[in-house]
Structure 1
Amino acid sequence: MKWLSQHSRIRARSLALSLALALISLPLKAGDTQIIKAVGTWDYFTNYQKHEGPFWNQHIAEVSEGTIVGEIKPHTELGLQGFEIMRLVKKGVFDFAFGLPGYVVPESEIFEGADLSSLVQNIAVQRQVADAYFHTLELAFAEKYNAKLMMLYPFPSQMLWCSSPVRSVADLKGKHVRVFLTTLGDFIEGAGGVPVSAPFNDVSDALESGIFDCVITGTMSAYTGELYKVAPYGFTLRVGWGLAFGAMNLNKWNRLSPEQKSLLQRELAQLTDNMWRETATEDAIALSCLSDGPCPIGEVGNMELFTPSDADLAARSKIAREVVLPRWAQRCGPDCAANWNRTVGKVLDLRAQAIAH
């Protein structure tokens, strides 16, 4: 009888635990508050200051009347490296993350496909590319990270900032250039330069000490990071867009009520539109501020900017077709390349195919 009593207690505890777990897995009812723990990009860039931070720390609680409360900090404040972030989202340490392809490429080269270097010069076309590749990335985020891709948005376009004049693609030959994605390195090698991977925080010192001849970074980050103090020259060829993502842990997503899901999707779609629209104007503001003004946001940088010629754009296209695309197709594999050709390739009228050896 004593054994039966103990067995009954154990069974009761087991049933209680099973019931608790079942309740945890159920969606919330409308009106129940859900807290979303988020991680953002760089605290010193405008995307975090104007969009990512305010959205989670204020906006979502206001529009949801407190049924969704966000808490976000930039990864720079948290001391995290980019590649750690989606792995932490997968584990449920964070519920939502903003990030760049470089954060997730270590898991699969498929994540590079919407922002391959030098393919797109126009932001309207870049948005078509993002839309065409969204479903591919949606599947990849679900498979690799148990995450729901919620948005794709751009940082200002990536250009070249140099310690000596670079007036053309040909002038990149032999130059040591800071990159932050493999595909950017492919472009620099295609132009005859030497790519060097480094975090943004090291850029100014490395330029000043001569480790780099040039740096690839966004127009606005070049301005807010005061690169004009160590790099007097800019070459305004767009070599990438810094296309970023917003993704949410799927377990957390499934805990939301239908009303919360609908509201969150609607508000993130609006945030996405706002970020695309602002990035389209930020390039012009940043370039004006970096050069001789006017500058509505601070001091004038007095950089000398060189505009790519038709010959430079032709050289860019040649490198894109003969170096960037084939190398990425080799890394990503034939199925990945075939999918890209059906999606992004149709938008750009380009074909990714590895070079046979």
Structure 2
Amino acid sequence: MKRLMGAAAAAAVLFGGMAAHAQAIDQKKFNVVGTWNFLTNWKVLEVPFWEKELPAASGGKLSGNIKSVTELNLKGTEVLRLLKTGVYDFAAALPIYVDDGAAIVEAVDIAGVARTFKMSRDIIDAWMPEMQKVMRERHGAYVLGTFTWPEQNFYCRGDIASVEDLKGKKIRVQGASQADLVKGFGGSAVTIPFGEVVPALEKGVVDCGITGTMPAYKAKWHEVTSTLFRLPVGFTASVWVVGTKTWDKLSPATQDLMKKEMVKLSDKSWKTVEEETEDGVACTTGQGKSKCTAGPPGKLKLVLPSKADLAARDKVLNDVVLPAWAARCGAECAQKWTETIGKQYGLVAKAK
């Protein structure tokens, strides 16, 4: 009898502790800004996380009222400003969304540096302390997770056989380092919002654009271009951030749960998008290592870079892109990047 009573008491303590932990999770529906609502990140990763996976993990206590940046019709830089004021609790943020401290955040996605998804993720992980500092001090935000986009390539009107054919072309870019890369190739960099690129290509406002393989298909770039020049530019490593006004009010148990679930979302995001890259090539060209599962494939001419093209990219990276970024970020920042990231890959960032 004593043993039974002891066991019962132990069970009461155990379940009491579990109940106390469960009660420590806040009841909260976060206001969330996601990415573009016609792309895989939104449909496969973001919406399921905030509407199903997080509620399941929290016993129904946490969820998200998520709106896409498309639906909200927000400019990228507006996202962090609204997060800082408390209008939104969480947001998906790309490096190009950052204005204050832009060069420091840009360090995770300097055009031409990352050659693989693993390398891209290793870079953003290594630079995370600098990212956190900028986000907290300048944007009132805290980074909880990372995600990425498919491999970034060139989509062009007309025939492109090598980097030499990019000379004189007007090319849509995402940010400063992509612009430096394009200028290094002899092209003219043009900044156009993602949703406006198709009419710009159609009307000849730009000759080419840089984007990810599957986003190009889903945005119908293959209908207004002729060539996919698959010279890897980067992966647009991005972050999930929470406003400190929201984060600092959450209970420790809620914070712990959010950290764990965001790690899971990050792992799933990188795996899903890496797998999608080859599908995007197949969908825009009808060629490649896989078959298009997203719809009827396009008929773009697929051009793979030669050794000379890759060497030209590396030369522009070292002679133009890295020095220009170092000038924007400053000597101390550039030295820290060289010591933290550059030395692993034989790269040096130093302004000329």
How far apart, CA to CA, are the structure 2 residues paired with 1:236 and 1:82?
26
- Of 293, 296, 307, 1:296 maps to 293
In structure 2, what residue type is equivalent to 1:352? A
In structure 2, what residue type is equivalent to 1:259? A
2:160–2:227 Cα contact (<8 Å) kept:
yes
State TM-score, norm by structure 2. Answer: 0.90
In structure 1, what residue type is equivalent to 2:305? P
What secondary structure, in the 3-state scheme, does the structure 1 residue paired with 2:66 have?
strand
How far apart, CA to CA, are the structure 2 residues paired with 1:79 and 1:240?
26
How far apart, CA to CA, are the structure 1 residues paired with 2:333 and 2:58?
39
Tell me the CA shift for residue 67 of structure 1: 2.1
Aligned residue in 2 for 1:121: 115
How far apart, CA to CA, are the structure 2 residues paired with 1:165 and 1:268?
43
TM-align CA RMSD: 1.4
Tell me the CA shift for residue 71 of structure 1: 1.2
Q: CA offsets per residue over residues 55-92 of structure 1, 9 Å max, x none? A: 11222112101221211101110121110111111111
Tell me the CA shift for residue 49 of structure 1: 1.2
Tell me the CA shift for residue 54 of structure 1: 1.7
- Of 166, 169, 182, 1:172 maps to 166
Tell me the CA shift for residue 248 of structure 1: 0.5
- Of 309, 324, 331, 2:321 maps to 324
Aligned residue in 2 for 1:3: none
Aligned residue in 2 for 1:266: 260
Q: CA offsets per residue over residues 173-226 of structure 1, 9 Å max, x none? A: 101101120111000000000011101111111111111111111111111111
Aligned residue in 2 for 1:18: none
Aligned residue in 1 for 2:229: 235
5 Å-filtered alignment, 1:1-357, equals 30-293=24-287, 294-355=291-352
Tell me the CA shift for residue 251 of structure 1: 2.3
How far apart, CA to CA, are the structure 1 residues paired with 2:98 and 2:79?
9
Q: CA offsets per residue over residues 72-128 of structure 1, 9 Å max, x none? A: 101110121110111111111111100211111344311100000011221111111
How far apart, CA to CA, are the structure 1 residues paired with 2:348 and 2:293?
42
State TM-score, norm by structure 1. Answer: 0.89
2:29–2:62 Cα contact (<8 Å) kept:
yes
What secondary structure, in the 3-state scheme, does the structure 2 residue paired with 1:113 have?
helix
1:176–1:196 Cα contact (<8 Å) kept:
yes
In structure 2, what residue type is equivalent to 1:245? V
In structure 2, what residue type is equivalent to 1:333? G
1:67–1:260 Cα contact (<8 Å) kept:
no
Unaligned runs of 5+ in 2: 1-21
Q: CA offsets per residue over residues 121-178 of structure 1, 9 Å max, x none? A: 2111111111111111011101111111111211111110001111111111101101
How far apart, CA to CA, are the structure 2 residues paired with 1:301 and 1:151?
34
Tell me the CA shift for residue 348 of structure 1: 2.0
1:58–1:70 Cα contact (<8 Å) kept:
no
What secondary structure, in the 3-state scheme, does the structure 1 residue paired with 2:158 have?
coil
How far apart, CA to CA, are the structure 1 residues paired with 2:305 and 2:273?
21
In structure 2, what residue type is equivalent to 1:325? L
How far apart, CA to CA, are the structure 1 residues paired with 2:25 and 2:233?
46
Tell me the CA shift for residue 242 of structure 1: 1.4
What secondary structure, in the 3-state scheme, does the structure 1 residue paired with 2:155 have?
strand
2:183–2:189 Cα contact (<8 Å) kept:
yes
Tell me the CA shift for residue 347 of structure 1: 2.7
In structure 1, what residue type is equivalent to 2:238? A
How far apart, CA to CA, are the structure 2 residues paired with 1:298 and 1:323?
39
What secondary structure, in the 3-state scheme, does the structure 2 residue paired with 1:268 have?
helix
Structure 1 residues 194, 32: closer, same or farther in 2, change over 3 A? closer
What secondary structure, in the 3-state scheme, does the structure 2 residue paired with 1:248 have?
strand
Tell me the CA shift for residue 31 of structure 1: 4.1
What secondary structure, in the 3-state scheme, does the structure 1 residue paired with 2:127 have?
helix
1:61–1:67 Cα contact (<8 Å) kept:
yes
How far apart, CA to CA, are the structure 2 residues paired with 1:106 and 1:218?
25
1:184–1:240 Cα contact (<8 Å) kept:
no
2:26–2:250 Cα contact (<8 Å) kept:
no
What secondary structure, in the 3-state scheme, does the structure 1 residue paired with 2:145 have?
strand
Taking every aligned residue pair, what percent have the same amino acid on both sides?
Answer: 38
